[in-house]
Amino acid sequence: MERPAWAPQGIDLTVPSVSRIYDFYLGGSHNFEVDREAARKAMEFMPGLPKIMQANRAFMRRAVRFAADEGITQFLDIGSGIPTFGNVHEVAQAANPEARVAYVDHDPVAVAHSRAVLAGNDRAGIAAADLRKPHDILSSPVVGELIDFDRPVALLLVAVLHFVEDADDPQCAVDTLRDALAPGSLVILTHASYEGVPLSEERVGGTVGVYKSIKNPLVMRSREEVARFFEGYGMVEPGLVPMAEWRPETPLSQEDPFAFSGFAGVGRKA
């Protein structure tokens, strides 16, 4: 298999990656055949997967604009993935050119491509680190250079926690990050769930099986389980809701049924 010029050395092109599969769903070009194959398999069970990803990105953009309107100028995006059009730094810096954005991802393609995209932007950077090791994120030089934890931060945990299994204690990681944030900080979060998906749990289970088979288990959590990640935060209206229902900018009647899959919410630290 030919290695594309943009692919960093040392990447195993035979192993699919969650962030590259996501890139494929969004119509990006930074994915390999092995990623596309896994994506197509998952879509055999859930043809609406690209719609879910688009609804997820649309929520993220609305929430980042909300944070900017609230006067927040620092954004920490963990599990940021491969930058595509309308990424956090573009939305935040369009709202406020002074905004600073620290991206964090453990996928080498996401890190390399983010570095290329952010070259010359001294208010944005990417750190190679994993949500499961929050202390590595908080002590990262890139994060330290961009984020002042004595001032409010918007912490983004968008479509990332459902790739952290209970055995890896996602709650502990979320709590550690929350404890590092100044009062007035926001958490912006989305999570996959069987709830809201316009298909039977059995069909959705087929997609979950595909992720399991590529050793990137997709952990579906209930609304109640997702709500626990907001402990220590006050929910911003309208609370924890299906992604399309969080401060929509277009009539909900025009939304694809898959846009109501999973949950999205924003919390504010007192």
At position 37, the amino acid (one-letter code) is E
The tens place of each residue's pLDDT in the chain, 270 residues long, gives 678 888 888 888 889 999 999 999 999 999 999 999 999 999 999 999 999 999 999 999 999 999 999 999 999 999 999 988 889 999 999 999 999 999 999 999 899 989 999 999 999 999 999 999 999 999 999 999 999 999 999 999 999 999 999 999 999 999 999 999 999 999 999 999 999 999 999 999 999 999 999 988 999 999 999 999 999 999 999 999 999 999 999 999 999 999 999 999 999 999
Q: What confidence score (pLDDT) does residue 1 get?
A: 65
- 143 in Cβ contact with 120 (< 8 Å): no
pLDDT at position 214: 92
Q: For residue 123, what are the contacts with CB-CB under 8 A and spacing of at least 6?
A: 89, 93, 98, 99, 100, 101, 146
- Give the C-alpha separation, 78 to 137, whole Å: 9
Q: Are 59 and 266 spatial neighbours (Cβ–Cβ below 8 Å)?
A: no
Reduced to 3 states, what is the DSSP secondary structure of residue 103?
Answer: strand
Domain 49-203+216-269 adopts which CATH fold?
Answer: Rossmann fold (3.40.50)
Question: pLDDT value at position 53?
Answer: 96
Contacts of 111 (CB under 8 A, 6+ apart): 8, 105, 126, 128
Bridging pattern class, strands 100-105 and 124-128: parallel
pLDDT of residue 50: 96
